[in-house]
């Protein structure tokens, strides 16, 4: 009956309740977004790193993948060495380089080019055609689209530009063997991949790679494997996906701070809103509460009614905020991912049920509990005077 | 009031279940009761509303408390009912020394064995008439079906059988007060305290309320009524007259 009275009170003050719900909804939407942002990029990056089954990266000592120009020399021997580490299923070498697309009509365009082992690669998923053979390349979807080319066509790639003449040097033609979905490319990035040996040969970086991606055997523990690789090849750095995301996390500390601050603010706003509404409600019902006490309703029962009111408001607002938050996250993601250099496959906002549930639960819980304070005040007021006040 | 007059069976006194003290012949026994508002009982600064009141109320009595405004009638009623604590003196209500009970126990005592009727009705505006009557029963743990039925009977008793689902704002003052009386007796109290129950009502409506009180008292409910209404004072069997925080006369009114 007490609970019914509380809920009906909210219905009775419909306008105020709706405004409060809207306010709490918007701030909990922001809270949801900030929770999703806090871990979103690292979560989705980790998923991406693992996507092709090659979660471990081996790079020149002290560098992160593709972080420096430094390369790993004597790559074939190192590759063999890695393969022999227990628990390694497959080793995928990658050499990053820049080639130039030679076009008859216009200036040459630089293309990010990867040398890969067609039998063991984790850079792209073929969407059309097959892995490249000699004199063959795989192009990214956006490149194929931009040039209007497809499997079987031929393109000309140069290793260098003659700076003085502005003309390519050392060009050769390659047949397109396939079109790939390059996992780590940013939105619309034009890139190509070709067999490692060929890229090493034309760039003069013989027996060199930028990094190895390592796939563990099904039963191998990723972290233990990284330890063994580090021991086997102390001149290199080995990273598990966890190490990589930790490194990324460090770089994105800025994002986390932002999301923490904005999240706390939205948390505070939502809580204050509930507190204000409930306090006003309690204040308004001061006499009613006195009446309940006078006729013998126990204090904790009165408090339950007040807490239910706060709970209904904050839970209702949170329920409203969840879809708004998810929608906002999608929109914001679209905007943020148009920034160049960010893999199109990652998301800034990733829905992590547990953290979102935790944030929302905390907000709803505190929202419900803030009512206890004005409630306790109303319960502590001398009963006779409170009744008298109500009569005036 | 046509349907009113007969008290529902559920209301008949002679209750057994109550883990508080047993029914007693003396309902209220107050001695040396003082009440000072404001400054903690010091002479200067505080308002001395009660200056030493002794009173004993027996079971089934109907007592009216009268006196000029500000003489301490409401204060006395609140202190006797355990709503306010006296600054000095002791109050025994239904065999319980109120000073020795904590607020929880006092609340329990009020819920189960005391009824209240206020000048301004004090119904919960968002609950219907029936729900307002059910509320104290629900708090006392009466089963839903029983309290439904009893609230219907009580509404019939106060002549509002057709207004079950109306909320207080949809009822007139007199009707609200009748609902409030039904609420006051919902848990079959031994004693009902009423502070100017007809203070807001015209004389015709007051007469109806008075009928209800008469009927309650006739069925064994002890009544303590603060009033300015000479008609109530005439109907009560005992009139306590107060002045300036003291009882100045106590006796049967001349009929
Ligand atoms: N909470 C309070 N603080 C200070 N003084 C109070 C308080 N409550 C009552 N008083 C004072 O105590 C005295 C007695 O008040 P009380 O309400 O008991 O009188 P009353 O006889 O009921 O008057 P009325 O007939 O006007 O209702 C008055 O002087 C009043 O001003
Ligand atoms: Mg008074």
Q: Do B107 and A388 touch (CB under 8 A)?
A: no
Average pLDDT over residues B178-197: 95
Same domain, A125 and A17: no
Q: Do B114 and A296 touch (CB under 8 A)?
A: yes
Residue A244 within any structural domain of the chain? no
Tell me which range, A5-19, A266-280, B38-52, is most confidently predicted by mean pLDDT.
A5-19
Give the alpha-carbon dihedral of B135, B136, B138, B139, to 10 degrees.
120
Per DSSP, what are the bridge partners of residue A129? A178
Average pLDDT over residues A16-30: 89
Same domain, A84 and A231: yes
Residue B80 within any structural domain of the chain? no
Per DSSP, what are the bridge partners of residue B238? B63
Q: Do A1 and B107 touch (CB under 8 A)?
A: no
| Pocket lining for ligand 1, CB < 6 angstroms | A 385, 388; B 37-38, 47, 49, 67, 69-75
Same domain, A164 and A31: no
Same domain, A77 and A191: yes
List pLDDT tens digits, range B192-223.
999 999 988 898 889 989 999 999 999 999 99
List pLDDT tens digits, range A83-120.
888 888 899 999 999 888 887 766 678 889 999 999 98
Same domain, A88 and A171: yes
Tell me which range, A248-262, A332-346, B123-137, is most confidently predicted by mean pLDDT.
B123-137
Tell me which range, A227-236, A270-279, B147-156, is most confidently predicted by mean pLDDT.
B147-156
Average pLDDT over residues B43-47: 73
Which of these three, A182, A210, A239, is where a domain ends? A239
What pLDDT does B13 receive? 46
Provide the number of CB pairs (under 8 Å) joining chain A to chain B.
Answer: 87
DSSP A302: H
Same domain, A29 and A72: no
Residue A245 within any structural domain of the chain? no
Ligand nearest, relative to CA of residue B75: 1
Instruction: Name the residue with the closest Cα to ligand 1, atom 18.
Output: B72
What pLDDT does B44 receive? 65
What is the DSSP secondary-structure string of A222-290?
HHHHHHHHHHH-TTEEEE-HHHHHHHHHHHTHHHHHHHHHHHHHHHHHHHHHHHHHHHHHHHHTHHHHH
Predicted TM-score (pTM) of the model is 0.73
What pLDDT does B6 receive? 42
Residue B234 within any structural domain of the chain? yes
Residue B227 within any structural domain of the chain? yes
Residue range of the domain that includes B149 = 9-22+60-72+103-251
Same domain, A111 and A22: no
Cβ < 5 A residues, ion ligand 2: B 74
Which of these three, A191, A206, A239, is where a domain ends? A239
Residue B1 within any structural domain of the chain? no
Question: Can you give the CATH number for the domain in which B176 is found?
Answer: 3.40.50.300
First to last CA, chain B: 25
Residue range of the domain that includes A323 = 2-48+251-391
Give SS3 for A340. Answer: coil
Residue A260 above 80 pLDDT? Answer: yes
List pLDDT tens digits, range B91-145.
999 999 999 999 999 999 999 999 999 988 899 999 999 999 999 999 999 999 9
Average pLDDT over residues A217-227: 86
Report the length, in residues, of chain B.
255
Please give, one letter per residue, the 3-state secondary structure of chain B: CCCCCCCCHHHCCCCCCCCCCCCCCEEEEEEEEEEEECCCCCCCCCEEEEEEEEEEEECCCEEEEECCCCCCHHHHHHHHCCCCCCCEEEEEECCEEHHHCCHHHHHHHHHHHEEEECCCCCCCCCCCHHHHHHHHHHHHCCCHHHHHHHHHHHHHHCCCHHHCCCCHHHCCHHHHHHHHHHHHCCCCCCEEEEECCCCCCCHHHHHHHHHHHHHHHHCCCEEEEECCCHHHHHHCCEEEEEECCEEEEEECCCC
What pLDDT does A178 receive? 93
A104 Cβ partners below 8 Å, 6+ apart?
A: none
Same domain, A6 and A126: no
B57 Cβ partners below 8 Å, 6+ apart?
A: B26, B27, B28, B29, B63, B80, B191, B222, B224
Residue A246 within any structural domain of the chain? no
Closest CA in chain A for residue B79: A384
Question: Structural domain tally of chain B?
Answer: 1
């Amino acid at each position: 009956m007490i609970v019914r009275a509380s809920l009906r009170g909210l219905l009775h003050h419909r306008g105020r309740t709706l405004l409060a719900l809207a306010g709490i909804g918007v701030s909990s939407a922001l809270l949801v977004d900030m929770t999703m942002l806090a871990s979103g990029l690292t979560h989705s990056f980790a998923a991406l790193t693992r996507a092709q089954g090659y979660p471990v990266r081996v790079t020149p000592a002290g560098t992160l993948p593709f972080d420096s120009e430094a390369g790993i020399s004597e790559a074939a021997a190192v590759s063999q060495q890695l393969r022999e580490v227990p628990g390694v299923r497959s080793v995928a070498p990658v050499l990053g380089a820049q080639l130039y697309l030679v076009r008859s009509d216009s200036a040459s365009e630089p293309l990010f080019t990867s040398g890969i082992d067609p039998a063991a690669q984790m850079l792209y998923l073929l969407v059309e055609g097959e892995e490249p053979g000699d004199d063959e390349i795989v192009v990214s979807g956006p490149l194929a689209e931009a040039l209007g080319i497809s499997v079987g066509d031929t393109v000309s790639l140069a290793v260098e530009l003659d700076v003085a003449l502005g003309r390519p040097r050392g060009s050769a033609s390659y047949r397109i063997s396939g079109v790939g979905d390059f996992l780590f490319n940013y939105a619309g990035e034009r890139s190509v991949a070709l067999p490692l040996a060929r890229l090493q040969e034309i760039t003069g970086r013989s027996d060199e790679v930028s990094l190895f991606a390592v796939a563990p055997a099904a039963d191998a523990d990723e972290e233990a494997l990284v330890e063994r690789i580090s021991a086997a090849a102390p001149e290199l750095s080995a990273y598990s996906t966890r190490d990589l995301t930790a490194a990324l996390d460090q770089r994105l500390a800025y994002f986390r701070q932002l999301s923490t601050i904005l999240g706390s603010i939205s948390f505070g706003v939502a809580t204050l809103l509930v507190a204000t509404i409930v306090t006003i409600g309690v204040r308004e019902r001061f006499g009613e509460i006195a009446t309940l006490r006078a006729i013998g309703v126990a204090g904790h029962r009165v408090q339950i009614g007040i807490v239910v009111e706060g709970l209904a408001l904050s839970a209702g607002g949170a329920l409203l905020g969840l879809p708004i938050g998810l929608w906002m996250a999608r929109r914001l993601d679209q905007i943020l991912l148009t920034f160049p250099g960010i893999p199109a496959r990652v998301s800034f906002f990733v829905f992590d049920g547990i953290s979102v549930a935790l944030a929302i639960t905390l907000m709803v819980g505190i929202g419900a509990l803030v009512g206890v304070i004005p409630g306790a005040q109303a319960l502590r007021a001398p009963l006779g005077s409170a009744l008298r006040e109500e009569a005036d | 009031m046509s349907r009113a007059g007969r008290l529902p069976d559920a209301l008949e006194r002679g209750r057994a279940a109550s883990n508080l003290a047993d029914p007693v012949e003396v309902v209220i026994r107050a001695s040396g009761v003082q009440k000072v508002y404001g400054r903690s009982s010091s002479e200067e600064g505080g308002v001395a509303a009660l200056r030493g009141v002794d009173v004993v109320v027996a079971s089934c009595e109907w007592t009216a408390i009268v006196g000029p405004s500000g003489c301490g009638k409401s204060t006395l009623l609140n202190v006797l009912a355990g709503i306010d604590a006296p600054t000095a003196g002791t109050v025994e209500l239904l065999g319980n020394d109120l000073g020795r009970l904590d607020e929880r126990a006092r609340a329990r005592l009020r819920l189960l064995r005391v009824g209240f009727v206020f000048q301004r009705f004090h119904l919960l505006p968002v609950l219907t008439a029936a729900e307002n009557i059910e509320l104290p029963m629900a708090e006392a743990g009466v089963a839903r079906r029983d309290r439904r039925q009893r609230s219907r009977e009580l509404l019939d008793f106060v002549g509002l059988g057709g207004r079950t689902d109306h909320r207080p704002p949809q009822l007139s003052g007199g009707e609200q007060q009748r609902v409030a009386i039904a609420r006051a007796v919902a848990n079959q109290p031994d004693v009902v305290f009423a502070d100017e129950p007809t203070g807001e009502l015209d004389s015709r409506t007051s007469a109806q309320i008075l009928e209800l009180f008469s009927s309650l008292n006739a069925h064994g409910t002890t009544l303590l009524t603060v009033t300015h209404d000479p008609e109530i004072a005439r109907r009560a069997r005992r009139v306590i007259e107060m002045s300036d925080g003291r009882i100045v006369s106590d006796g049967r009114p001349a009929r």
